[in-house]
Structure 1
Amino acid sequence: MNALTDLFAGNTLLLVLTGVLAYSAAAMWLRDRGVLPEAVRVSGPVLTLRTLRGRAFLNRIAAPRRFWRAVANLGLGGALVAMVASFVLILSSALSAIRTVQPSAIQQPQNFLIIPGVNDFLPLSVAPEIIAGLGIAMVIHEGAHGLLCRVEGIDIESMGLVFFALLPVGAFVEPDEEATQEASRGARARMFAAGVTANTLLTVVVFALLFGPVVGAIAPAPGFAVGEVTPESPAAAANITHGDRLVAVGDTPVDTPDEFETALAAAGETVQITAEDGDGTRTVTVTRELHVIGSAGGNPLGVTIESDPVGITAVNGAPVSTEREFLDAVGDAERATVTVDADGAANATVASETAEIPIGAYALGVQEGGPLNAEGAPLGEPLTIVSIDGDRVRTNDELSTVLADREPGTTVEVVGYDTADERVTYDVELDPHPNREGGFIGVTVFPGSSGLALDDFGASQYPAGTYLELLGGDGGEGGTGGVALSNLTGSPLGLVFASLILPLGSLFGLPFNFAGFTGVLTNFYVVEGPLAVLGGGTFLLANLLFWTGWINIQLALFNCLPAFPLDGGRILRMVAEAVISRVPVSDRHAAVRTITVSSGLVMLAGLIMMIFGNQILSALGLI
């Protein structure tokens, strides 16, 4: 019994499938005994609810026919563009999936399902908002089809919703088939494009509300937002957890992450930290220890971190427990003797417990054609940079600071140690930095010192301000500065694109996937202005708008795929009929069928290869 319980607890997908089977059995049992109303039809886990209610309402709002036709014509043009783009996107994604030896997280089969808790990017905590957004999207989509039916004089036989188990997965409008065939080709095309048009317009409305008054009322809360705590770190030992907001270091209040880092750097080995969570404020004592929590390949110390950190106990014989003590012990010397303690780090490799190494910013590689490469620095080989024009450099941050003070076009002396531990110098003319002010020498640098990511606390920041700014809000001092996606916030289309990829943030260089203002994340934000009277309701409203917009645009794009029975497939048939009617072909019906069936088969093959291509090729031994 315990083994069975453990199996279900560790496999969400298996639990969901079991629930679906139980629901299907119960629904079919009720159907067979005539318990269900006539309007409800059951086929396995699929339940269909049919009705004619709402038809009179559609008749009333269909009165301004010219207006609705004009809107539908605009939507039809957009749908045609989206059809071509989606066709190209599916094929290119399928080819990419085939060529990828190790599929990314987004290519895992469960991540193609918009099911919270099953999809790795959609947490269960936002299931109500996702389900509500999905229901709104489907009702709007099918309602628009019904509206254009009435605008074009096509009668409606029935309307309804489709449920998979308890989840709304579709809606439908059944136009009268004979009336549909009698309508003009343009009328049918507008009717088929109406759903996509409505979803797009709804996306514009909900994102306008989200980016405007709702997100505008939300601001980052003061303090350091804890996004993750390293296991067995000093912070973990002090019971600091994800969702905490650190608001004071000792007697020093901190309002921003930078203030926290500055105060922590100035503190000693033992420090008092004031933390706030949903239950209130508490003060904890943190005893700091210096750890290597990440490593670059080929680093001078020869440390490889897989999961367990490695402790640094001394530099030049002096005990160290913080990053500041580490740098103070190194001083201005280019090299230092570092002592590590690998006890308990089973998933780490240490070449030697004590070694003399150069201490500097660790360049993972030299860019081809960059300033350093132009002066003879070899490509593909790491370089430990210890000084720039006489200014000592010990970390990646110090390298950035030194170069920020140099004008592009000036020549500086770069001193470093190569992979053979030989001291090398280069006279380099600086290029402009691609992302900020100052000079650029053409290298990619690993965080920390000498290829070692150092940490003496064990808590990483949740970039609350960054996510808020990517949604059009004011991120304050914790905004998008230096973030790769920061250039998206300057236009409405950029904000829409940012919102679409935020749930997949980890794939785009962000430290966490953003699922909305939910759970402990609400501790990282405060509500200001007129919406403050709603309190936590503002977060609920923001989540509903976020997921409604996200699902609407996904539904619109999916329905643009040129494959039957999707709207894109029906529009493709209208286009094919219009083109073939002007071509001297003996069997026009067969030609149209060939075009539509071929497109559908290509789309189906593309989707299968996107989801299962890597697994299929692996099973065949082709990769």
Structure 2
Amino acid sequence: MSKAARIRILSAGVISNFLVAAVAMALFFGPVIGSISPVDRVIAVDVLAGSEAQKMGLESGMALLETDGIEIRGLEQFYSALGSGSGAAKLKLFYNDKDERVELSRMPDRGIMVASIFQDSPASRAGLPARSVITGIDGTEIINLEGFRKKMNTTHPGQIIAITTGAGKTYQINLTAKSSAGKDDGAGFIGIGISGNAVFLAGAIFQEAPARQFLQSLKSIPSSGLQGFTYMLSLPFSGIPGFTQKGFPGFSGWLTQVFEPSGWAEPLGGRFFWIANLLLWVGWINLYAGLFNCLPAVPLDGGHIFRDLVQSAFEKVVKPKEAERFTRTAVALLAWLVLTSLLITIIAPFTHWLSL
């Protein structure tokens, strides 16, 4: 068999991987994602260690379905249902593809959730922890983001404020001026990142699932160029930035409670998510299979193609035996380079331990 014929045969396998990946991803990000609609739902975004909620089995990522038998679709409805009942709050949640029932003390607090703490900020120096819920400032109840902004607009740099959290702790924070990078309106600066309104109940923090924003971010991946391609490569492991940091293996678990098929896919019900997940994984696996096979290292297809191309080039300037010897050397050096690069990529993240 001639080298040209062998190259065509070897290339066919790699090209078929990329074609299958392209078709599967086109279907996933096209008609499939286009037929999925968000559903208003409340989820548990965090559970404090040692809290009543944790002891009762509540876990982060659980989707809230009902409170005292009332279907819950929003945060305000959840808080109202808690306030109108008596005794222990009976919650019905969805997790790991099954319903869970939990009873918690009926002592809810509304507020805003702290997503992050800026380094060397007033909040950092005061010890305010990330993923806490601010429920009050200087005795003023903070029930939502609007109330928080309104209160902070009355403060000034150098003022010391008392911030109360859902966990019942108070932090004295000495406000500073905003950095030059931000818009300075004269108000005091705490140094926190906020993720929106929240309800704190027995150590569990509930927020409305950002289903619409999540779906929009997913739809925008194909049109994001190189950055979108990078997201796609790591999608099952890194997930959608800002939404599913633990990875996005597809529409499973609590995600099936905040999305539903619509339009032509509505009659399929939950089975439609199986189709979506199948297309995602078929596309992703074939994409990686094609990329891996392209590596110029024998025995991969890319290695055989590289060897035939290099040998053909050498045969034009040297004798066949010498061309074969030079080719073996070039292929061996490149194989070692590829292997070393892969090892460095795997080992590099752990090298910081060597300096400890």
Same fold (TM over 0.5): yes
Q: Give the equivalent residue in structure 2 for 1:338.
A: 161
Gap change, CA 1:601 and 1:281, over 3 Å in 2: closer
Contact 2:293/2:301 (CA < 8 Å) preserved in 1?
yes
Contact 1:247/1:275 (CA < 8 Å) preserved in 2?
yes
**Secondary structure of 1:229's partner?**
strand
**Secondary structure of 1:447's partner?**
strand
- The offset of 1:215, in angstroms, is 2.7
- Note the alpha carbon deviations across 1:275-323, whole angstroms, 9 max, x for none: 76464999985510657664223333532345784876650xx353635
Q: Give the equivalent residue in structure 2 for 1:459.
A: 206
Structure 2 alignment gaps of length 5 or more:
none
Confirm or deny that 1:534 pairs with 2:268: yes
Contact 1:517/1:543 (CA < 8 Å) preserved in 2?
yes
Confirm or deny that 1:503 pairs with 2:239: no
Q: Give the equivalent residue in structure 2 for 1:40.
A: none
CA distance in 2, matches of 1:211, 1:507: 14
Contact 2:127/2:171 (CA < 8 Å) preserved in 1?
no
Q: Give the equivalent residue in structure 2 for 1:21.
A: none
**Secondary structure of 1:338's partner?**
strand
Confirm or deny that 1:295 pairs with 2:117: yes
CA distance in 2, matches of 1:494, 1:327: 33
* Letter aligned with residue 208 of structure 1: A
* Letter aligned with residue 280 of structure 2: F
Q: Give the equivalent residue in structure 1 for 2:324.
A: 589
Confirm or deny that 1:518 pairs with 2:220: no
- Note the alpha carbon deviations across 1:394-448, whole angstroms, 9 max, x for none: xxxxxxxxxxxxxxxxxxxxx36699xxxxxxxxxxxxxxxxxxxxxxxxx8424
CA distance in 1, matches of 2:47, 2:291: 40
CA distance in 2, matches of 1:527, 1:507: 20
Mapping of residues 432-511 of structure 1, within 5 Å:
446-448=192-194, 457=200, 458-472=205-219, 486=220, 488-490=221-223, 498-505=231-238, 508-511=241-244
- The offset of 1:609, in angstroms, is 1.2
CA distance in 2, matches of 1:520, 1:270: 26
* Letter aligned with residue 609 of structure 1: I
**Secondary structure of 2:127's partner?**
strand
CA distance in 2, matches of 1:219, 1:309: 30
Of 213, 220, 224, the residue aligned with 2:31 is 213
Q: Give the equivalent residue in structure 2 for 1:610.
A: 345
Confirm or deny that 1:231 pairs with 2:51: no
**Secondary structure of 2:317's partner?**
coil
Contact 1:321/1:456 (CA < 8 Å) preserved in 2?
no
CA distance in 2, matches of 1:195, 1:579: 23
Gap change, CA 1:268 and 1:446, over 3 Å in 2: farther
CA distance in 1, matches of 2:223, 2:50: 39
When the two chains are superposed, the root-mean-square deviation of aligned CA atoms in Å is 4.7
- The offset of 1:192, in angstroms, is 1.5
- The offset of 1:559, in angstroms, is 0.9
Q: Give the equivalent residue in structure 2 for 1:242.
A: 61
**Secondary structure of 1:573's partner?**
helix
Gap change, CA 1:508 and 1:591, over 3 Å in 2: farther
Contact 2:109/2:199 (CA < 8 Å) preserved in 1?
yes
CA distance in 2, matches of 1:470, 1:418: 30
Q: Give the equivalent residue in structure 2 for 1:568.
A: 302
Gap change, CA 1:523 and 1:231, over 3 Å in 2: same
Gap change, CA 1:522 and 1:573, over 3 Å in 2: same
Contact 1:469/1:489 (CA < 8 Å) preserved in 2?
no
CA distance in 2, matches of 1:192, 1:598: 22
Q: Give the equivalent residue in structure 2 for 1:59.
A: none
* Letter aligned with residue 243 of structure 1: M
Rg larger in structure? 1
Mapping of residues 13-92 of structure 1, within 5 Å:
none
**Secondary structure of 1:332's partner?**
coil
Percent identity of the aligned residues? 23
Contact 2:136/2:164 (CA < 8 Å) preserved in 1?
yes
Gap change, CA 1:506 and 1:548, over 3 Å in 2: closer
Gap change, CA 1:337 and 1:612, over 3 Å in 2: closer
Provide the aligned length of Structure 1 versus Structure 2. Answer: 334
CA distance in 2, matches of 1:526, 1:342: 35
Contact 1:313/1:320 (CA < 8 Å) preserved in 2?
yes
Mapping of residues 323-402 of structure 1, within 5 Å:
323=144, 332-334=154-156, 337-340=160-163, 353-354=171-172, 357=175, 362-363=178-179, 366=180, 387=185
- The offset of 1:595, in angstroms, is 0.8
Larger RCO (alpha carbons 8 Å, 6+ apart): 2
CA distance in 2, matches of 1:588, 1:386: 70
- Give the TM-score, by structure 2 length: 0.72
Contact 2:156/2:187 (CA < 8 Å) preserved in 1?
no
* Letter aligned with residue 228 of structure 1: V
- Note the alpha carbon deviations across 1:377-397, whole angstroms, 9 max, x for none: xxxxxxxx662xxxxxxxxxx
* Letter aligned with residue 185 of structure 1: K
Confirm or deny that 1:191 pairs with 2:9: yes
Contact 1:470/1:495 (CA < 8 Å) preserved in 2?
no
Gap change, CA 1:469 and 1:331, over 3 Å in 2: closer
